Protein backbone atom coordinates (compact mmCIF):
# COMPACT_ATOMS: atom_id res chain seq x y z
CA UNK A 1 0.00 0.00 0.00
CA UNK A 2 1.32 3.43 -0.91
CA UNK A 3 1.78 5.39 2.32
CA UNK A 4 0.52 8.68 0.93
CA UNK A 5 -2.53 7.21 -0.82
CA UNK A 6 -5.73 8.70 0.63
CA UNK A 7 -8.60 6.40 1.52
CA UNK A 8 -12.26 6.85 0.52
CA UNK A 9 -15.39 4.94 1.44
CA UNK A 10 -18.21 5.05 -1.13
CA UNK A 11 -21.49 3.51 0.01
CA UNK A 12 -23.74 1.96 -2.63
CA UNK A 13 -20.69 1.73 -4.90
CA UNK A 14 -21.70 -1.63 -6.36
CA UNK A 15 -23.77 0.03 -9.11
CA UNK A 16 -24.98 3.25 -10.72
CA UNK A 17 -23.77 6.62 -9.46
CA UNK A 18 -21.76 5.09 -6.59
CA UNK A 19 -19.81 2.92 -9.03
CA UNK A 20 -18.98 6.00 -11.13
CA UNK A 21 -17.86 7.86 -7.99
CA UNK A 22 -15.64 4.94 -6.95
CA UNK A 23 -14.02 4.93 -10.42
CA UNK A 24 -13.49 8.70 -10.39
CA UNK A 25 -11.89 8.65 -6.93
CA UNK A 26 -9.66 5.69 -7.84
CA UNK A 27 -8.55 7.67 -10.90
CA UNK A 28 -7.72 10.58 -8.58
CA UNK A 29 -5.47 8.21 -6.59
CA UNK A 30 -7.72 7.17 -3.70
CA UNK A 31 -7.80 3.65 -2.30
CA UNK A 32 -11.53 2.92 -2.32
CA UNK A 33 -13.72 0.85 0.01
CA UNK A 34 -16.66 -0.29 -2.14
CA UNK A 35 -19.45 -0.67 0.43
CA UNK A 36 -22.71 -2.21 -0.74
CA UNK A 37 -25.46 -4.52 0.46
CA UNK A 38 -25.23 -6.28 -2.91
CA UNK A 39 -22.25 -8.64 -2.62
CA UNK A 40 -22.00 -9.32 -6.38
CA UNK A 41 -21.95 -5.63 -7.26
CA UNK A 42 -19.44 -4.71 -4.54
CA UNK A 43 -17.07 -7.56 -5.42
CA UNK A 44 -17.30 -6.85 -9.15
CA UNK A 45 -16.54 -3.12 -8.81
CA UNK A 46 -13.68 -3.70 -6.33
CA UNK A 47 -12.19 -6.27 -8.70
CA UNK A 48 -12.52 -3.91 -11.69
CA UNK A 49 -10.80 -1.13 -9.72
CA UNK A 50 -7.93 -3.40 -8.68
CA UNK A 51 -7.48 -4.50 -12.31
CA UNK A 52 -7.22 -0.87 -13.42
CA UNK A 53 -4.33 -0.37 -10.98
CA UNK A 54 -6.43 1.05 -8.20
CA UNK A 55 -6.45 -0.20 -4.63
CA UNK A 56 -9.91 -1.32 -3.55
CA UNK A 57 -11.73 -3.46 -1.04
CA UNK A 58 -15.31 -4.74 -1.25
CA UNK A 59 -17.23 -4.51 2.01
CA UNK A 60 -20.68 -6.06 2.15
CA UNK A 61 -22.94 -4.19 4.55
CA UNK A 62 -26.38 -2.73 5.10
CA UNK A 63 -25.56 0.88 5.93
CA UNK A 64 -29.04 1.44 7.38
CA UNK A 65 -28.01 -0.84 10.24
CA UNK A 66 -25.87 1.00 12.81
CA UNK A 67 -23.70 -1.96 13.87
CA UNK A 68 -23.13 -2.89 10.24
CA UNK A 69 -22.10 0.62 9.21
CA UNK A 70 -19.62 0.83 12.13
CA UNK A 71 -18.22 -2.61 11.19
CA UNK A 72 -17.91 -1.45 7.57
CA UNK A 73 -15.80 1.57 8.59
CA UNK A 74 -13.66 -0.61 10.86
CA UNK A 75 -13.02 -3.14 8.09
CA UNK A 76 -12.26 -0.38 5.56
CA UNK A 77 -9.75 1.18 7.96
CA UNK A 78 -8.11 -2.19 8.64
CA UNK A 79 -7.85 -3.02 4.93
CA UNK A 80 -6.88 0.36 3.47
CA UNK A 81 -5.84 2.69 6.31
CA UNK A 82 -7.24 5.79 8.00
CA UNK A 83 -10.32 7.15 6.21
CA UNK A 84 -9.99 10.62 4.62
CA UNK A 85 -13.21 10.69 2.66
CA UNK A 86 -16.74 9.32 3.03
CA UNK A 87 -19.31 9.46 0.23
CA UNK A 88 -22.79 8.58 1.50
CA UNK A 89 -24.34 7.51 -1.78
CA UNK A 90 -26.42 4.38 -1.02
CA UNK A 91 -30.09 5.12 -1.48
CA UNK A 92 -33.47 3.72 -2.47
CA UNK A 93 -36.67 5.17 -3.90
CA UNK A 94 -40.32 4.29 -3.41
CA UNK A 95 -43.10 6.16 -5.21
CA UNK A 96 -46.64 6.90 -4.14
CA UNK A 97 -48.92 9.65 -2.83
CA UNK A 98 -48.35 10.62 0.81
CA UNK A 99 -52.05 10.29 1.67
CA UNK A 100 -51.83 6.50 1.69
CA UNK A 101 -48.06 5.86 1.71
CA UNK A 102 -47.29 2.62 3.53
CA UNK A 103 -45.68 2.92 6.97
CA UNK A 104 -43.22 0.09 6.18
CA UNK A 105 -42.04 1.80 2.98
CA UNK A 106 -41.74 5.13 4.82
CA UNK A 107 -39.56 3.60 7.56
CA UNK A 108 -37.39 1.68 5.09
CA UNK A 109 -36.78 4.85 3.04
CA UNK A 110 -35.68 6.76 6.15
CA UNK A 111 -33.60 3.81 7.38
CA UNK A 112 -31.55 3.55 4.16
CA UNK A 113 -31.54 7.18 2.97
CA UNK A 114 -31.23 9.04 6.29
CA UNK A 115 -30.24 6.77 9.22
CA UNK A 116 -27.35 5.38 7.14
CA UNK A 117 -25.97 8.87 6.52
CA UNK A 118 -25.94 9.60 10.24
CA UNK A 119 -24.42 6.23 11.22
CA UNK A 120 -21.65 6.33 8.60
CA UNK A 121 -20.78 9.93 9.55
CA UNK A 122 -20.68 8.96 13.23
CA UNK A 123 -18.41 6.01 12.42
CA UNK A 124 -15.82 8.00 10.39
CA UNK A 125 -15.80 11.27 12.32
CA UNK A 126 -13.64 10.25 15.33
CA UNK A 127 -10.77 9.29 12.96
CA UNK A 128 -11.19 12.44 10.86
CA UNK A 129 -11.29 14.68 13.92
CA UNK A 130 -8.13 13.06 15.33
CA UNK A 131 -6.36 13.73 12.00
CA UNK A 132 -7.99 17.19 11.87
CA UNK A 133 -8.64 16.41 8.24
CA UNK A 134 -11.48 14.85 6.32
CA UNK A 135 -14.26 15.33 3.82
CA UNK A 136 -17.80 13.97 3.64
CA UNK A 137 -20.07 14.19 0.61
CA UNK A 138 -23.70 13.17 0.87
CA UNK A 139 -25.65 12.33 -2.28
CA UNK A 140 -29.02 14.02 -1.80
CA UNK A 141 -31.30 14.93 -4.74
CA UNK A 142 -32.97 17.90 -6.38
CA UNK A 143 -36.10 16.20 -5.00
CA UNK A 144 -34.92 17.22 -1.52
CA UNK A 145 -35.47 20.86 -2.50
CA UNK A 146 -39.02 20.69 -3.81
CA UNK A 147 -42.35 18.97 -3.37
CA UNK A 148 -43.16 16.61 -6.24
CA UNK A 149 -46.32 14.51 -6.22
CA UNK A 150 -45.61 10.78 -5.70
CA UNK A 151 -42.02 11.51 -4.60
CA UNK A 152 -43.09 12.87 -1.18
CA UNK A 153 -41.47 10.24 1.05
CA UNK A 154 -38.27 10.12 -1.01
CA UNK A 155 -38.13 13.94 -1.09
CA UNK A 156 -38.51 14.08 2.69
CA UNK A 157 -35.49 11.77 3.11
CA UNK A 158 -33.39 13.88 0.76
CA UNK A 159 -34.44 17.11 2.52
CA UNK A 160 -33.23 15.46 5.73
CA UNK A 161 -29.88 14.66 4.08
CA UNK A 162 -29.49 18.32 3.06
CA UNK A 163 -30.31 19.41 6.61
CA UNK A 164 -27.83 16.92 8.14
CA UNK A 165 -25.19 18.24 5.71
CA UNK A 166 -25.75 21.83 6.82
CA UNK A 167 -25.70 21.14 10.57
CA UNK A 168 -22.81 18.69 10.53
CA UNK A 169 -20.73 21.04 8.37
CA UNK A 170 -21.01 23.75 11.04
CA UNK A 171 -20.42 21.31 13.89
CA UNK A 172 -17.15 19.91 12.52
CA UNK A 173 -15.73 22.82 10.50
CA UNK A 174 -13.36 23.87 13.29
CA UNK A 175 -12.07 20.29 13.45
CA UNK A 176 -10.79 20.34 9.86
CA UNK A 177 -13.66 18.36 8.32
CA UNK A 178 -15.75 19.64 5.42
CA UNK A 179 -19.25 18.30 4.71
CA UNK A 180 -21.11 18.95 1.45
CA UNK A 181 -23.91 17.41 -0.60
CA UNK A 182 -24.51 16.85 -4.28
CA UNK A 183 -28.10 17.06 -5.53
CA UNK A 184 -28.36 15.11 -8.79
CA UNK A 185 -31.21 15.79 -11.21
CA UNK A 186 -32.43 12.95 -13.42
CA UNK A 187 -29.57 10.54 -14.01
CA UNK A 188 -29.70 7.87 -16.71
CA UNK A 189 -28.13 4.41 -16.71
CA UNK A 190 -29.09 3.58 -13.11
CA UNK A 191 -31.34 0.93 -11.59
CA UNK A 192 -33.09 3.69 -9.62
CA UNK A 193 -34.01 5.58 -12.81
CA UNK A 194 -35.29 2.36 -14.40
CA UNK A 195 -37.47 1.66 -11.36
CA UNK A 196 -38.93 5.20 -11.44
CA UNK A 197 -39.57 4.88 -15.17
CA UNK A 198 -41.25 1.47 -14.72
CA UNK A 199 -43.33 2.21 -11.63
CA UNK A 200 -43.99 5.86 -12.51
CA UNK A 201 -46.28 4.81 -15.37
CA UNK A 202 -48.95 3.81 -12.84
CA UNK A 203 -48.92 7.41 -11.51
CA UNK A 204 -48.82 9.02 -14.95
CA UNK A 205 -45.25 10.29 -14.49
CA UNK A 206 -43.40 11.44 -17.61
CA UNK A 207 -40.99 9.06 -19.36
CA UNK A 208 -37.26 9.78 -19.52
CA UNK A 209 -37.51 11.24 -23.03
CA UNK A 210 -40.45 13.45 -22.03
CA UNK A 211 -38.46 14.65 -19.02
CA UNK A 212 -35.43 15.43 -21.20
CA UNK A 213 -37.54 18.02 -23.04
CA UNK A 214 -37.93 20.13 -19.88
CA UNK A 215 -34.24 19.98 -18.92
CA UNK A 216 -32.49 23.15 -20.17
CA UNK A 217 -29.38 21.20 -21.26
CA UNK A 218 -31.74 18.92 -23.21
CA UNK A 219 -30.77 15.53 -21.81
CA UNK A 220 -30.59 13.35 -18.70
CA UNK A 221 -27.37 13.39 -16.68
CA UNK A 222 -24.72 10.68 -16.56
CA UNK A 223 -23.38 9.02 -13.38
CA UNK A 224 -19.90 10.30 -14.32
CA UNK A 225 -21.19 13.88 -14.14
CA UNK A 226 -22.19 13.36 -10.50
CA UNK A 227 -18.80 11.76 -9.85
CA UNK A 228 -17.07 14.86 -11.28
CA UNK A 229 -18.93 17.10 -8.82
CA UNK A 230 -17.90 14.82 -5.94
CA UNK A 231 -14.27 14.88 -7.12
CA UNK A 232 -14.36 18.68 -7.14
CA UNK A 233 -15.96 18.97 -3.68
CA UNK A 234 -13.33 16.72 -2.06
CA UNK A 235 -10.40 18.41 -3.79
CA UNK A 236 -8.33 21.35 -2.59
CA UNK A 237 -10.13 23.42 -5.26
CA UNK A 238 -13.15 23.37 -2.92
CA UNK A 239 -11.17 24.04 0.28
CA UNK A 240 -13.44 26.99 1.27
CA UNK A 241 -16.71 25.15 0.65
CA UNK A 242 -18.65 23.44 3.40
CA UNK A 243 -22.36 22.94 4.16
CA UNK A 244 -23.27 23.33 0.48
CA UNK A 245 -25.80 21.29 -1.50
CA UNK A 246 -24.75 21.59 -5.12
CA UNK A 247 -27.28 20.98 -7.90
CA UNK A 248 -26.10 18.88 -10.85
CA UNK A 249 -29.33 18.91 -12.83
CA UNK A 250 -28.65 20.27 -16.33
CA UNK A 251 -30.42 23.47 -15.25
CA UNK A 252 -33.60 21.66 -14.17
CA UNK A 253 -33.41 23.06 -10.63
CA UNK A 254 -31.78 26.36 -9.70
CA UNK A 255 -32.27 26.82 -5.94
Is 154 an active-site residue? yes
- CB-nearer residue toward ligand NAD: 62 or 133: 62
Residue 244 CB-density burial (10 A; 0-12 exposed, 13-18 middle, 19+ buried)? middle
Sheet of strand 56-60, all strands in order from the earlier edge strand to the far edge: 56-60, 31-36, 7-11, 85-88, 134-139, 177-184, 245-248
What does the binding site for ligand NAD look like in residue numbers (CB under 6 A)? Answer: 11-12, 14-18, 36-38, 41, 62-64, 89-92, 112, 139, 141, 184, 186-187, 190-193
- CB-nearer residue toward ligand NAD: 175 or 188: 188
- CB-nearer residue toward ligand NAD: 55 or 190: 190
Going by C-alpha positions, the residue among 72, 157, 150, 61 that lies closest to residue 108 is 157
CA distances from 49 to 27, 89, 220 (A): 9, 18, 26
Q: Min. distance of Cβ 252 from ligand NAD in angstroms?
A: 11
d(CA 87, CA 117): 9
d(CA 71, CA 67): 6
Q: Min. distance of Cβ 53 from ligand NAD in angstroms?
A: 23
Spatial neighbors of 14 by CB under 8 A, at least 6 apart, are 34, 36, 37, 38, 40, 41, 42, 44, 45
Degrees, nearest 5: CA angle 201-192-141: 105
- CB-nearer residue toward ligand NAD: 83 or 90: 90
Q: Min. distance of Cβ 15 from ligand NAD in angstroms?
A: 4
- CB-nearer residue toward ligand NAD: 58 or 139: 139
Q: Min. distance of Cβ 194 from ligand NAD in angstroms?
A: 8
Q: Min. distance of Cβ 184 from ligand NAD in angstroms?
A: 4
DSSP 167-197: HHHHHHGGGTEEEEEEEE--BSSSHHHHHHH
- Of 23, 30, 154, 203, the catalytic one is 154
Q: Known catalytic residues?
A: 154
Amino acid sequence: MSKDRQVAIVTGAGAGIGRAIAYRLAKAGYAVAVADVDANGANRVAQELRESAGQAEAIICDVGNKADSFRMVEEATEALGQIHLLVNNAGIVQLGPLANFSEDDWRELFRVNVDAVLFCCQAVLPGMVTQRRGSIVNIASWNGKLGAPNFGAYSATKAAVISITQTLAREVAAMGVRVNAVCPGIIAETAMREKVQREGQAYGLPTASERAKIIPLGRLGKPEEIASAVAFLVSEEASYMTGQSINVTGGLWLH
